[in-house]
């Protein structure tokens, strides 16, 4: 049961108006409080305490109410009956949405032949958790890994391979795709091609021009470039797949990127032309997305660059068109770096103006940067910008060191699970928009607001349940202790938390909830012994029931964050 909703609905029905219901942090005076009397007193010109005294007895009639008290200038505190809490707390289960939506989510969005950077970490973690929450609430979602596979890097990489191996037949204009070519790309080398080519192009304008020419021909369907591209695409898809597994995120519904979207450029261009939306500017084809009300600069949206090539802008608009055809979503949500905000604002306007997709059904969730202690984007020890794998490796080392120090013996698999939890939980804990400082030793601590603490609590609960080896059925009667009561109320807040996390697009709420739940679980664990010999059977049964509910709730939260519970810690 969603306790808050139940109590709120019942009170509103009883009073015949909508009362504002609060949940005080300190529950000593009540589990809920309302300022209804104070609000009504103002509109009715009455004394708030007198009005509260009239409302209180009505609330006292509700069958779940233990007692009602009046405090301060007219606050009404409501305490819920223990038995009501015991009988109605349940473990979370897949929900049915009252108004189920179909939502396209664009996250991950890795690039072909370019190693994954630190920014890909946040889009993956936040996007995946948001996707899991949305599904849990009963909506239909489609995750799109909008792969970067059509732009400048492709031209540079192909040009680079041409420089290394000019003898390969791929570079001939009459290349026949059926020609067998004895050439394999080394996976490690491939990751270096783009940075090398990009650095070289900066100093060598001839090479730069060649890369641009190749890109344009590639987009126009040059068979040799395409055959080469297919080779490194296969490698990149494998790398992406490894990343998905390493991060324990759900597999994408679509691993289709810019190249796929490019197939829809033609119909989109027809729409744009019919509406006279494309005009020429400095040799490029652009769309004006400015509004009269704009105060900030709003540059035109680049439909085709001055060389006639497709752009990040055009393929993104075509991708919207494609998604509309394929999924017909009620909303499209993008998870990228905050720095892409302008691009998405332009995209949403262009889509809206062309009638392809309405502006107000788009959302861009822009996230901040992962920084080092110096406040600059996190770097590895050798001073290079950290990649996605570096972050996980660093966390792994930190967990290993901690475990060795504590004298624990944990296998490599367990260490990996803990390190990933450290990274992901810490990421989710921060408000998406804000930057945060990545401190490997702090996030891997087994105490405090950390992933390892969350897992540790779950492992401990699990081991109690395993040792008890009993049935965990609900007791008919059981006198709750304060700790048990607080824990059950928190469990009854799960649904409310999830709904707020979804409505506010705030994945930090689920991380904070998990932490609060763990705190209350540990309080319960310390103050209410379960399996000790001197504990009477009926109390043992009651506590086991509560421990099981806590475990089921915590493991659902853990699952929604894409973490795994190790078998020992
Ligand atoms: N591939 C881009 C990057 O790595 C992100 C793409 C985000 N999605 C989109 N539809 N533009 O930065």
105, 106, 109, best to mutate for ligand 1 pocket (most atoms within 8 Å of CB): 109
The alpha carbon of 482 and the centre of ligand 1 are apart by a number of angstroms equal to 50
Answer yes or no: is pLDDT of 382 > 90.
no
Take atom 6 of ligand 1 and give the residue whose Cα is closest: 109
Per the CB < 8 A criterion, the answer to whether 371 and 437 are in contact is: yes
Mean pLDDT of 222-249: 93
534 secondary structure, DSSP code: T
In sequence order, which residues have a C-beta less than 8 Å from that of residue 48 and are 6 or more positions away? 37, 38, 41, 42, 73, 74
Task: Give me the residue label for tokens 């007791």.
Answer: 475
Confidence of residue 43 (pLDDT cuts 50, 70, 90): confident
Mutate which of 259, 336, 343 for ligand 1? The one with the most ligand atoms within 8 Å of its CB, which is 336
- Å from CA of 326 to ligand 1 middle: 20
Count of CB atoms situated within 10 Å of the CB of 195: 12
For the CA of 319, the closest atom of ligand 1 is 10
The pLDDT assigned to 514 comes to: 98
Give the pairing type, strands 370-371 and 301-304: unpaired
Counting residues of the chain whose pLDDT is more than 70, the rounded percentage is 100
Kindly report the backbone phi and psi dihedral angles of residue 103, in degrees, each rounded to the nearest multiple of 5, phi listed first.
-125, 125
Cα of 504 vs centre of ligand 1, distance in Å, is: 23
Residue 319 CA to ligand 1 centre (angstroms): 12
What per-residue confidence (pLDDT) applies to 356? 98
Confidence of residue 187 (pLDDT cuts 50, 70, 90): confident
What confidence tier does 470 reach under pLDDT thresholds 50, 70, 90?
confident
> Quick one: CA torsion of 319, 322, 323, 328, rounded to 10 degrees?
150
DSSP tag of 339: G
* Residues near ligand 1 (Cβ within 6 A): 106, 109, 111, 146, 148, 316, 319, 334, 336
Residues 36-58 have a mean pLDDT of 89
pLDDT at 199 over 90: yes
pLDDT in tens, 121-173: 999 999 999 999 999 999 999 999 999 999 889 999 999 999 999 999 999 99
| Domain ranges in the chain with CATH number 1.10.730.10 | 388-560
Range with lowest mean pLDDT among 190-199, 351-360, 424-433: 190-199
Report the candidate in 400, 329, 402, 339 with the shortest Cα–Cα distance to residue 368.
Answer: 339
Q: Residue 332: which pLDDT band, with cuts at 50, 70 and 90?
A: very high
pLDDT score, position 186? 86
340 C-alpha to ligand 1 centroid (Å): 9
* Whole-angstrom distance, CA of residue 268 vs CA of residue 382: 46
- Alpha carbon of 322 to ligand 1 centroid (Å): 16
For residue 467, what pLDDT is reported?
Answer: 94
Average pLDDT of the chain? Answer: 94
CATH 1.10.730.10 fits 388-560, yes or no: yes
Nearest of 191, 187, 196, 188 to residue 164 by alpha carbon: 196
Across 439-456, average pLDDT: 96
At residue 356, the 3 state secondary structure works out as coil
CATH number (3.40.50.2300, 3.30.1360.70, 3.90.1300.10, 3.40.50.1580) of 3-80 reads 3.30.1360.70
**Where in the chain are all domains bearing CATH 3.30.1360.70?**
3-80
High-pLDDT (> 90) share of the chain, % = 87
């Amino acid at each position: 049961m969603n306790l808050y909703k139940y109590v709120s609905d019942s009170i509103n029905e009883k009073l015949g108006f909508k009362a504002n219901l609060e949940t005080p942090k300190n529950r000593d005076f009540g589990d809920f409080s309302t300022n209804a009397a104070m609000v009504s007193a103002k509109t009715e010109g009455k004394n708030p305490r007198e009005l509260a005294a009239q409302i209180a007895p009505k609330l006292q009639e509700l069958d779940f109410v233990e007692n009602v008290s009046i405090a301060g200038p007219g606050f009404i505190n409501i305490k819920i009956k223990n038995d009501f809490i015991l009988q109605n707390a349940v473990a979370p289960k897949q929900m049915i949405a009252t108004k189920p939506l179909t939502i396209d989510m664009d996250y991950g969005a890795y690039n072909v032949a370019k190693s994954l950077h630190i920014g890909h970490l946040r889009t993956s973690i936040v996007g995946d958790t948001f996707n899991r929450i949305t599904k849990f609430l009963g909506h239909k979602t489609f995750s799109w890994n909008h792969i970067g596979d059509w732009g400048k890097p492709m031209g540079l990489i192909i040009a680079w391979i041409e420089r290394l191996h000019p003898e390969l037949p791929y570079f001939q204009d009459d290349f026949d795709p059926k020609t067998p070519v004895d050439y394999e790309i080394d996976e490690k080398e491939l990751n270096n091609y783009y940075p090398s080519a990009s650095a070289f192009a900066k100093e060598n304008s001839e090479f730069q021009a060649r890369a641009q020419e190749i890109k344009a021909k590639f987009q126009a369907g040059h068979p040799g470039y395409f055959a080469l591209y297919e080779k490194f695409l296969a490698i990149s898809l494998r790398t992406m797949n490894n990343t998905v597994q390493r991060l324990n995120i759900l597999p994408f519904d679509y691993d289709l990127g810019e190249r796929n979207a490019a197939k829809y450029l033609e119909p989109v261009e027809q729409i744009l032309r019919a509406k006279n939306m494309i005009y020429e500017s400095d040799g490029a084809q652009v769309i004006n997305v400015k509004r009269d009300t704009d105060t900030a600069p709003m540059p035109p949206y680049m439909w085709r660059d001055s060389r006639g090539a497709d752009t990040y802008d055009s393929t993104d608009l075509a991708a919207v068109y494609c998604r509309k055809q394929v999924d017909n979503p009620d909303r499209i949500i993008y998870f990228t770096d905050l720095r892409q905000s302008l691009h998405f604002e332009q995209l949403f306007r262009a889509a809206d103006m062309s009638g392809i997709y309405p502006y107000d059904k788009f959302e861009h969730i822009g996230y901040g940067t992962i920084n080092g202690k110096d406040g600059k984007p996190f770097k590895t020890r050798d001073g290079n910008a950290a990649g996605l794998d570096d972050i996980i490796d660093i966390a792994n080392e930190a967990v290993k060191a901690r475990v060795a120090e504590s004298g624990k013996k944990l296998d490599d698999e367990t260490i990996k699970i803990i390190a990933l939890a450290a990274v992901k939980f810490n990421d989710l804990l921060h408000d998406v928009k804000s930057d945060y400082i990545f401190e490997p030793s702090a996030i891997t601590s087994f105490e405090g607001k950390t992933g390892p603490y969350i897992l540790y609590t779950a492992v401990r609960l699990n081991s109690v349940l395993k040792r008890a080896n009993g049935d965990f059925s609900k007791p008919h009667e059981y006198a709750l202790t304060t700790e048990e009561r607080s824990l059950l109320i928190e469990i009854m807040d799960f649904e409310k938390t999830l709904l707020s996390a979804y409505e506010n697009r705030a994945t930090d709420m689920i991380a904070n909830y998990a932490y609060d739940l763990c705190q209350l679980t540990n309080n319960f664990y310390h103050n209410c012994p379960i399996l000790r010999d001197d504990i009477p059977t009926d109390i043992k049964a009651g506590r086991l029931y509560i421990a099981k509910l806590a475990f089921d709730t915590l493991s659902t939260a853990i699952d929604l964050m894409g973490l795994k519970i190790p078998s020992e810690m």
